[in-house]
Amino acid sequence: MIRALGQLLLAGLTVLAAAGAWTAYDLRRPGPPRQTPVVVEVEEGERFAEIARDLRRQGVLRHALPLAVWARVTRQDRAVHWGEYMITTPLSALELLARLTRLPDPLHQITIPEGLSVRQVVRLLAEAGFGSEESFFCLLDDPTFLASEDLPPAGAEGYLFPNTYDFPLVTPQDRILRAMVKQFREAFGPELAMRAAALGFTEQQAVTLASLIEEEARRPEERRLVAAVFVNRLKRGMPLQSDPTVLYGRDDDEDRRITRADLRRVTPFNTYTIAGLPPTPIVNPGRASLEAAVDPAQVDYLYFVARGDGSHEFTSTLAAHNAAVARYIRRGH
């Protein structure tokens, strides 16, 4: 009996020793090989056990439990800083822990204004040092990337949400674009989607309408009125005749003035020559324009004309519209 207990004890100690040796080995061996850098995000107040699981899910840590236990025993879990960390080479579990107990990578702020096209957004990102324009367009032209973010096959126009973002300068381009699309999804949530459906719009149609509103309405109080004009014209089968759609596709350095010949030129986006909405958004709209697109004012306006001070005069009949146009043309002269 005593001999049997001794054998069991010896076996248990052998297992513990083997487990300890394996744990020590696992903590020190390099992490999984990586072809591209990965940004690890540690949220404020996040438990280290969850951080370790995130590291495992992101492919930079082989096993979460040994590191979580080691950090807890050595109390290093209390020294981890929240923020973002760029992991560029395979690190052992202990090296990862040491990295997370140092200061995170510095963040660089970039503001994407409302009403920029995808091309203009990419130019801003490149100028800020987040990568070349080619590297961004390589992703934006990739059907696999678009499908992974549930974006239309035509592209991401309209879905790179205008906002102020903070990224480490070495953040991968796909992470930056995904963050912008995520912000769009949060802005255009289930409530706006339901309102769009009630108007008979798909998500893309609502975003396209919002992009026209973004371009046309310079004053916040006019967004819902501009939306009403476009919705009313769509219901009546009238062309939208939105001037910014005539310019879409032109290089930003080209002459931005619109001529009568421009209005007659047939393009997929020219709402003077096509019926209904353009096939895609023409800019990336902000939250206010998205909300206006699915909540137009309850008015019967069908026309608006610029007064020259950023505001518009809205009218319900062609005669009233022509009179307004003549009035502001005379004032312009």
Query: What is the average per-residue pLDDT within 320-333?
Result: 80
SS3 content of the chain, % helix, strand, coil (to 5): 50, 10, 40
Does residue 134 or residue 253 have the better pLDDT? 134
Whether 97 and 67 have beta carbons less than 8 Å apart is answered as yes
Predicted pLDDT of residue 162: 98
Q: What does the pLDDT look like over 46-93, one tens digit per residue?
A: 899 999 999 999 888 989 899 999 989 999 989 998 888 888 888 888
Q: Is the pLDDT of residue 19 over 90?
A: no
Q: What is the pLDDT of residue 25?
A: 64
Pick 28-100's CATH classification: 3.90.1170.50, 3.40.640.10, 1.10.10.10, 3.30.1490.480.
3.30.1490.480
Closest CA to 302 of 313, 288, 290, 289: 313
> What per-residue confidence (pLDDT) applies to 233?
97
pLDDT band at residue 145 under the 50/70/90 scheme: very high
Polymer length of the chain: 333
Give pLDDT, residue 239.
96
Segment 136-140 shows an average pLDDT of: 97
What is the pLDDT confidence band of residue 253, given thresholds at 50, 70 and 90? low
Q: Alpha carbon of 332 to those of 263, 303, 315: distances in Å?
A: 21, 19, 20
Rounded mean pLDDT, 146-169 = 94
Maximum average pLDDT range among 27-36, 79-88, 211-220: 211-220
The residue ranges of every structural domain in the chain are 28-100, 107-187, 201-332
